[in-house]
Amino acid sequence: MEKISRTKVVDLLKRRDFGAMVNVKGWVRTRRGSKQVNFIALNDGSTINNVQIVVDLSNFDEEILKLITTGACISVNGELTESIGSGQAAEIQAREIEVLGACDNTYPLQKKGHTMEFLREIAHLRPRTNTFGAVFRIRHNMAIAIHKFFHERGFFYFHTPIITASDCEGAGQMFQVTTKNLYDLKKDENGSIIYDDDFFGKQASLTVSGQLEGELAATALGAIYTFGPTFRAENSNTPRHLAEFWMIEPEVAFNDIIDNMDLAEDFIKYCVRWALDNCYDDVKFLNDMFDKGLIERLQGVLKETFVRLPYTEGIKILEEAVAKGHKFEFPVYWGVDLASEHERFLVEEHFKRPVILTDYPKEIKAFYMKQNEDGKTVRAMDVLFPKIGEIIGGSEREADYDKLMTRIQELNIPMKDMWWYLDTRKFGSCPHSGFGLGFERLLLFVTGMTNIRDVIPFPRTPRNAEF
Amino acid sequence: MEKISRTKVVDLLKRRDFGAMVNVKGWVRTRRGSKQVNFIALNDGSTINNVQIVVDLSNFDEEILKLITTGACISVNGELTESIGSGQAAEIQAREIEVLGACDNTYPLQKKGHTMEFLREIAHLRPRTNTFGAVFRIRHNMAIAIHKFFHERGFFYFHTPIITASDCEGAGQMFQVTTKNLYDLKKDENGSIIYDDDFFGKQASLTVSGQLEGELAATALGAIYTFGPTFRAENSNTPRHLAEFWMIEPEVAFNDIIDNMDLAEDFIKYCVRWALDNCYDDVKFLNDMFDKGLIERLQGVLKETFVRLPYTEGIKILEEAVAKGHKFEFPVYWGVDLASEHERFLVEEHFKRPVILTDYPKEIKAFYMKQNEDGKTVRAMDVLFPKIGEIIGGSEREADYDKLMTRIQELNIPMKDMWWYLDTRKFGSCPHSGFGLGFERLLLFVTGMTNIRDVIPFPRTPRNAEF
């Protein structure tokens, strides 16, 4: 076959130099046609759009043609021509075809219309479908948007550790990490397992959050963000929980809670705008196939200023709704940790736009949040979104050493694990704030997918670590 | 204190609107001066450069002045003025100073000239030093360069799983991940531990490489890259090994080994150029303080075309050197896995520029590499760098199902773990190639640091998982 340098489908479909000889390589999505002419829809993953290959059967060997089945990988040399019927402006009149890899009829993606459950079982092949191609291209673009947003604003990407020996953040149950021989566990005289011979010389786990280390970095470099995997060993088999997920955690010296809200709102709007500007074909496909309200919802977030409301006011609104006869599954009262139904009522029914809820009761929030002067609430701020509920959780941090110590003692957090964190308040303490965004929560919002297992390539959930 | 919006030091030092009232916030590096005037060197992490604050002592309360010690966090309102003695073009004449956080004399970073060993023990504070501020700003910039390079070329960032149940890559010893109660390990009748009640229902570990899953993605999306943490449970206490490190692994459908070499060379040159263009102040500092040859070495890589040499030719060169009297610690012969001294001889003494060594004996390389027709070598390609040795390892992958199967059987790799990987060769197989770059190895090269523990914020090594 003549050597012509390959053009990606995404670039090819933009070309208008009809008559040029081109080469494309990709996987056959469908093949149809008559006894004289066949049409191959070829996809190479660079875009959701296929390029149509027009094959005059009389020019090709039957042995070759037999191998051009759904899923086969082929290389095509041909003439770029203007297309009328393919849905794209350009198509290719095939001159030479080479089958790089055949694909027999045991290929699981032959027919269309598989259930999402079935596609999860073949997660190693699902990126070859339109839906998951779109989702993973959007996932890529959201990651790029995140790095771009922070880099442009002078934040530094900071890698907090994945393996940790401290477990005081209390954000969730942890996975243990060990190299110990479980068949020969040495114990001391009290029957406690000795970790002296474990890899790190002590018990170690997978991180549940990089925030505490992020605060160390912010109080040195000024403004940082993390973007890495985070782990929760909770036995939650729901469409919203993963045991392994990616989290973004910015932390900024000298920011108060207002700056923090401004940053969160700018940040999430930047990401949503990026999706509409850079992934329109993929978003449109998901809108049309799965969720007719998707694009409207994305545009809605961009249009509106987010409501900023103290928790106490939020409770009043919910109590008034109950008084007027609205039924919630869970009770509403001051001090309650809001359920998703409460958050969604505020966002979707009451305000009809995103809400940043602030100043939560200290009892339902973490020890490091800055205490308000009322003695009851802390400077927390959660961003609540339509369909998703909480998409961002953050706060201004307690900068005062004594107040922080008191809270740590009240909650019986073991101090031996906390000395390094406390040093930030001991040596040149400063006001600072930050938040966490679950990357897959953002992706649920931007793709319209309803199960979090469908926005990460290889989901890890209870009893599932395939591939 | 009057409310003036904060300017970061990096931006302030570029301003020339002398006379303007400005606010800066940051940490005191040094304070010196006479009984009338003091000079504070203030740093906020945004740049390696300090801004000089000029303080007319007669205008300030002694109680405030006492608190302005090394490490204290202060907010300064003042007039931007042209500077003569500070080493920068601009400085600030202080009008108001607020101490945000004091810092007593127990602060470990008071004096200069700490050893790197000591700074590792206070890794939670070392980002506040010039050296580690520079290193971590460069680290950020290298991550940005990597995403930018691949995004511009149409690659998709793909998150391969961190927790894995397969262990056939064989790249190194693995950490076990478990939620089992180690005090009550259930065993079957043969004495084997039962993993049915572990979180994933089977034994699980931390990934040693995302490559195999990356190949799944490349054969669907065309061109992908990973950038995530990777783990090796090897008991290697050396300046070149970490138990937790970050790796970048591009994988590209339709690329052969030549394309792969081109990609690797373009990629690494892009990163090095980015460092010189975007982190010059930080690189210059490290050059002047630690490694006078650093900038020259970085520029050298950009100037030269990398040598491309088959392993067999490389061995000949080394054997000739031995014959001429060059002493190596380890023996040289065809089939040997080259030691760092061999790699560095080729790069630093023989060619005096980076070398891409190709076509290694199959016995010393992984099962998935494409076999050459000689039956002895595989299409591996390792990029060897001055001072570092191997910085990139990659190959064209074996695309042929039968050849791959034969190799898997020869090596006794358990097939039950490999079915999903083999599906890429069964259903529309295609030529493809990729490589892996250890992020911290790149950083050693770009920063001139000599211990890998000093280019990652919180190193994990045997018996060390602090912070």
A184 close to B (CB below 8 A): no
Residue A157 to residue B179, Cβ atoms within 8 A = no
| Pairing label, strands A307-310, A355-361 | parallel
Please report the pLDDT score of residue A170 as a whole number: 60
Secondary structure of chain A in HEC code, one letter for each residue: CCCCCECCHHHHCCCCCCCCEEEEEEEEEEEEECCCEEEEEEECCCCCCCEEEEEEHHHCCHHHHHCCCCCCEEEEEEEEEECCCCCCCEEEEEEEEEEEECCCCCCCCCCCCCCHHHHHHCCCCHHHCHHHHHHHHHHHHHHHHHHHHHHHCCCEECCCCCEECCCCCCCCCCCEEECCCCCCCCECCCCCECCCCCCCCCCEEECCCCHHHHHHHHHHHCEEEEEEEEECCCCCCCCCCCCEEEEEEEEEECCCHHHHHHHHHHHHHHHHHHHHHHCHHHHHHHHHHCCCCHHHHHHHHHHCCCEEEEHHHHHHHHHHHHHCCCCCCCCCCCCCCCCHHHHHHHHHHHHCCCEEEEEEEHHHCCCCECECCCCCEEEEEEEEECCCEEEEEEEEECCCHHHHHHHHHHCCCCHHHCHHHHHHHHCCCCCEEEEEEEHHHHHHHHHCCCCHHHCCCCCCECCECCC
Identity of the residue in A143, A193, A464 whose CB atom sits nearest the CB atom of B200: A464
Q: Is the pLDDT of residue A94 over 70?
A: yes
Tell whether A25 is within 8 A of chain B (Cβ).
Answer: yes
In the three-class reduction of DSSP (H, G, I as helix; E, B as strand; rest coil), residue B365 is classed as: coil
b/e sequence B325-339, b meaning 16+ C-beta within 10 Å = eeeeeeebeeeeebe
* The pLDDT value given to residue B151: 98
Tell me whether strands B307-310 and B355-361 are parallel, antiparallel or unpaired.
Answer: parallel
Distance of CA A367 to the CA centre of its chain: 27
pTM above threshold 0.95: yes
Supply the DSSP symbol for B324: T
Residues of A in Cβ contact (< 8 Å) with B172: none
Complex-level ipTM: 0.97
Kindly state whether B399 is in contact with chain A, defined as any CB-CB distance less than 8 angstroms: yes
Domains of chain B in start order, with CATH, are 9-101 (2.40.50.140), 126-173+208-454 (3.30.930.10)
* A357 pLDDT higher than 80: yes
pLDDT of residue B178: 97
Identify the sign of the CA torsion B58, B61, B67, B68. Answer: negative
Nearest residue of chain A to residue B68 (CA atoms): A428
Contact check, Cβ <8 Å, B428/A159: no
Size of interface A-B (CB pairs under 8 A): 314
Q: What is the pLDDT of residues A139-163, one digit of tens each?
A: 999 999 999 999 999 999 999 999 9
> What residue type is A144 in one-letter code?
I
pLDDT in tens, A223-276: 999 999 999 999 999 999 999 999 999 999 999 999 999 999 999 999 999 999
> Both tokens of residue A43?
């996809």
The reply to whether residue B27 touches residue A161, judged by beta carbons under 8 angstroms, is no
- Which of B133, B229, B431 lies at the smallest CB-CB distance from A162? B229
Q: What six digits make up the tokens of B388?
A: 């570092």
Q: What is the pLDDT of residues A169-221, one digit of tens each?
A: 566 799 999 999 999 999 999 999 999 999 999 999 999 999 999 999 999 99
Is A176's Cβ below 8 Å from some Cβ in B?
yes
- Stretch 430-459 of chain B: residues touching chain A, C-beta under 8 Å: 430-431, 456-458
Q: What is the pLDDT of residue A168?
A: 60
Who among A124, A163, A458 is closest to B244 (CB)? A163
pLDDT of residue B168: 60
B88 CB burial (10 A radius; 0-12, 13-18, 19+): middle
Mean pLDDT by 10 residues, chain B (467 residues): 96 97 98 95 98 97 96 98 90 98 95 90 97 98 98 98 80 90 94 95 95 97 98 93 98 98 98 98 98 96 96 98 97 96 96 97 96 97 94 97 94 85 97 98 97 98 95
Whole-number pLDDT of residue B335: 97
Mark yes or no for CB contact A429/B100 under 8 Å. yes
What is the separation, in whole angstroms, between the first and last Cα of chain A?
A: 36
Q: Which two tokens stand for residue B456?
A: 């990652």
Instruction: Decide if pLDDT at A167 tops 80.
Output: no
